[in-house]
Amino acid sequence: MPKVFIKTYGCQMNERDSEQVARTFAENGYTLTPREQEADAILINTCSVRDQAEQKALGKMGMMGKYREERAHVVYGFMGCMAQSRGDELFQRVPHLDLVVGTQKYHRVFEYVDQILTRRLRTRMDEVGAEMVTGRVEDEVVKINQDRVISARVVDTAEEEGSQNTIRDHIPRTDRQATAFVSIMQGCNMRCSFCIVPDTRGKERGRPIADIVEEVRHLVDQGVREVTLLGQIVNLYGRTEFPKINGKSPFVQLLEAVHEVDGLHRIRFTSPHPIGYRDDLVAAFTYLPKLCSHIHFPMQSGSDRILKKMRRPYKNEKFLSICEKMKAARPDLAITTDIIVGFPGETEEDFQETVACMKAVGFDNSFIFRYSKRKDTPAAEMEGQLSEQVKEERNQILLRIQEEMTTAKNARLIGTRQQVLCEGPSKSNKSRLSGRTGQNKIVIFDGEAARMTGELLEVQVEDSTGYTLYGTPMIH
Ligand code: SF4
């Protein structure tokens, strides 16, 4: 059985797309391997959110070229956002590359790879026919003809109608899986000046509600108890494709439909945008108890002047008022966010407005990014680019503020009982278990993975190290 190795860079959406690609290989007789050196096909799902992410993928693919010296038939391919934005330019950067597949063609990756691999092995078989004396064909091929292996140079970055509906299957798991990502849409119609997602992921395209509910039902049958609905801008899901019903947006209709799935305990979603974040979505948190008490709500900046330069068409008072309404609707709500620090033209005053906003909302956590230029984005051409030193100074200030807030909030949970969905062995310490509260806080505790994974547990919180809670499950 041929082996495929898939490496993923970037966001949860990339993780989800890679899983769909992996599933296609698995159901066509390939084995998924975590060991790149034994793979017959090597694929990288790329991210373009920052130049650094692209350099990492290029470096990794470059390094893995050495495997062709031993195994000349190996097929190399790039998928995802960098593949979409750079296309066949990548063949110059990586001479051993065979395949470049864009973000609307994940469902074609398998056939492209299989065609190249089959042809390569068949060609070699023919050549070897006359020469082979003993052993396995592949090994024979490697030794005899590697200098004649030609890069296949297949590139497919075209748009494809309905491609969003191809991200729907999951890899059957041997161990119990408590949580899963469900892609509800692809693309984004916004045009934030620092972001290339609209160019790499295309226009917003939503999947039908019935298909998503069917996928969730299937996951629950497999033991999943929590789903995270994924999209670049989830609250605008279906705004151009599906009608409002009784004043409710397609996204709220979707939440209600997923909420009806028996056996599902929890629903999360990421990421919403202040634009289109209306009262029907706020109200949903008052009557859909499976909706977790957490939203990841990107703020990006606390300064209206900078939001304007970012082409985020709202004022911060709108962001703050949504946060207030959400906390009123769900008092134990946790809010986390994304912040870009050091955006071109950001003054000390703008920066202080971001600090004030952080404190006003009291985020439970935030992902803080120093602004970095993205090729072909308007912000990259803007005047007032800040020095790395200023960006880093401001970055450190925000990190300290966030650490103080997170540590204080988590310390207040010591002595309380929290409902935790057990996700299995802890990634940092396999001898212990981990899970998350409804507020998306990680909790570490002792127990039996086979019996507890996928269970909603009552955990007595006994300690906190700032970002992680520790406790003991209450055995009923
Ligand atoms: S909302 Fe803005 S930052 Fe988010 S994906 Fe769309 S363009 Fe990019």
Q: Is the pLDDT of residue 54 over 50?
A: yes
At 136 the pLDDT is: 42
Residue with tokens 């207040």: 412
Question: For residue 189, which atom of ligand 1 is closest to its CA?
Answer: 6
CATH of the domain at 431: 2.40.50.140
Atom of ligand 1 at shortest distance to CA of 201? Answer: 5
Percent of the chain residues topping a pLDDT of 70: 93
Q: Which residues contact 450 (CB under 8 A, 6 or more apart)?
A: 176
- Inform me whether the pLDDT recorded for 128 exceeds 60: no
> Tell me: the pLDDT tens digits for 246-299?
999 999 999 999 999 999 999 999 999 999 999 999 999 999 999 999 999 999
**What residues pair up with 3 in beta bridges, in sequence order?**
31
Give yes or no for residue 56 having a pLDDT over 50. yes
Q: Percentage of the chain surpassing pLDDT 90?
A: 87
Q: How many domains does the chain have?
A: 3
The answer, yes or no, to whether residue 378 has pLDDT greater than 90, is: yes
Residue with CA nearest ligand 1 atom 4: 232
pLDDT band of residue 334 (cuts 50, 70, 90) is very high
CA 291 – ligand 1 centroid, Å: 24
Tokens at residue 252, please? 């709220």
In a shared domain, residues 185 and 324:
yes
Ligand 1 pocket test: which of 204, 232, 236, 371 has the largest number of ligand atoms within 8 Å of its C-beta? 232
| Averaged pLDDT of the chain | 93
Residues 426 and 340 in one domain: no
Domain boundary among 356, 377, 409: 409
The predicted model gives 311-337 an average pLDDT of: 98
Residues with CB under 6 A from ligand 1: 188, 190, 192, 195, 197-198, 232-233, 273
Cβ neighbours of 474 (radius 10 Å): 10
Is 111 exposed, middle or buried, given 0-12, 13-18 or 19+ CB atoms closer than 10 A?
A: exposed
Q: Which atom of ligand 1 is nearest to the CA of 232?
A: 5
Statement: residue 400 has pLDDT above 60: yes
339 phi and psi, to 5 degrees? Answer: -135, 135
Q: Residue 144 has what pLDDT?
A: 42
Q: Mean pLDDT lowest for which of 143-152, 347-356, 397-406?
A: 143-152
Cα of 410 vs centre of ligand 1, distance in Å, is 30
Residue 15 reports pLDDT greater than 90: yes
Same-domain status, 396 and 439: no
Q: Say which residues have a Cβ less than 8 Å from residue 27's Cβ, sequence separation at least 6.
A: none
In this structure, the answer to whether residues 18 and 135 fall within a common structural domain is yes
Domain boundary among the residues 107, 127, 156 is at 156
Residue range of the domain that includes 405: 163-409
With the most atoms of ligand 1 within 8 angstroms of its CB, the residue from 50, 190, 337 to mutate is 190
**Minimum-distance ligand 1 atom for the alpha carbon of 191:** 7
Q: With cut-offs at 50, 70 and 90, classify the pLDDT of residue 129.
A: low
d(CA 237, CA 185): 7
pLDDT band of residue 127 (cuts 50, 70, 90) is low
- Specify the residue with its C-alpha closest to ligand 1, atom 2: 192
* pLDDT above 90: residue 348: yes
Query: How much distance in Å is there from the Cα of 204 to the middle of ligand 1?
Result: 11
* Ligand 1 atom with least separation from CA of 312: 2
Q: Which residues, at least 6 apart from 188, have a Cβ–Cβ distance to it below 8 Å?
A: 195, 197, 198, 201, 204, 232, 233
Centroid of ligand 1 to alpha carbon of 230 (angstroms): 13
Which string of b and e fits 223-258 if b means at least 16 CB within 10 Å? Answer: ebbbbbbbbbbbbbbbbeebeeeeebbbbbbbbeeb
pLDDT above 50: residue 134 = no
Do 136 and 178 belong to one domain? no
Give the span between the Cα atoms of 473 and 418, in whole angstroms. 9
The residue whose C-alpha atom lies closest to atom 8 belonging to ligand 1 is: 195
Task: Identify the CATH number of the domain in which residue 118 sits.
Answer: 3.40.50.12160
Looking at the fold, whether 222 and 310 belong to one and the same domain comes out as yes
pLDDT given at position 122 = 84
Residues 179 and 146 in one domain: no
Question: Ligand 1 centroid vs 470 CA: distance in angstroms?
Answer: 35
Q: Are 316 and 304 in contact (CB under 8 A)?
A: yes
Give Cα 85 distance to the centre of its chain: 18
Residue 125 C-alpha to ligand 1 middle, in angstroms?
49
Residues 254 and 370 in one domain: yes
Distance (Å) from CA 377 to ligand 1 centroid: 12
Tell me which of 14, 188, 277, 311 to substitute to probe ligand 1's pocket, judged by most ligand atoms within 8 Å of the beta carbon. 188
CA of 194 to the centre of ligand 1 (A): 9
The number of C-alpha atoms within 13 Å of 467 and in the hemisphere containing its C-beta is 7
**What is the structure's pLDDT at 121?**
86
Distance CA 209, CA 260 (A): 12
pTM of the model: 0.92
Same domain? For 443 and 340 the reply is no
d(CA 88, CA 101): 10
Residues 341 and 431 occupy one common structural domain: no
254 and 148, same structural domain? Answer: no
- Residues 208-233 have a mean pLDDT of 96
> Which two three-digit tokens encode residue 342?
């050091």
**Average confidence (pLDDT) over 35-48:** 96
Structure tokens at 313: 């068409």
Name residue, tokens 């469900």.
182
Distance CA 205, CA 162 (A): 8
From 81, 230, 233, give the residue whose CB has the most ligand 1 atoms within 8 Å, as the site to mutate.
Answer: 233
Q: Which atom of ligand 1 is nearest to the CA of 195?
A: 8
| 307 in the same domain as 349 | yes
Distance between Cα 65 and ligand 1 center (Å): 34
Return the residue whose CA atom lies nearest to atom 1 of ligand 1: 190
Residue 12 contacts by C-beta under 8 Å, 6 or more apart in sequence?
A: 181, 228, 230, 270
Domain end residue (candidates: 156, 172, 192): 156
- What's the pLDDT score for residue 412? 97
User: CB neighbours (10 Å) of residue 132?
Assistant: 15
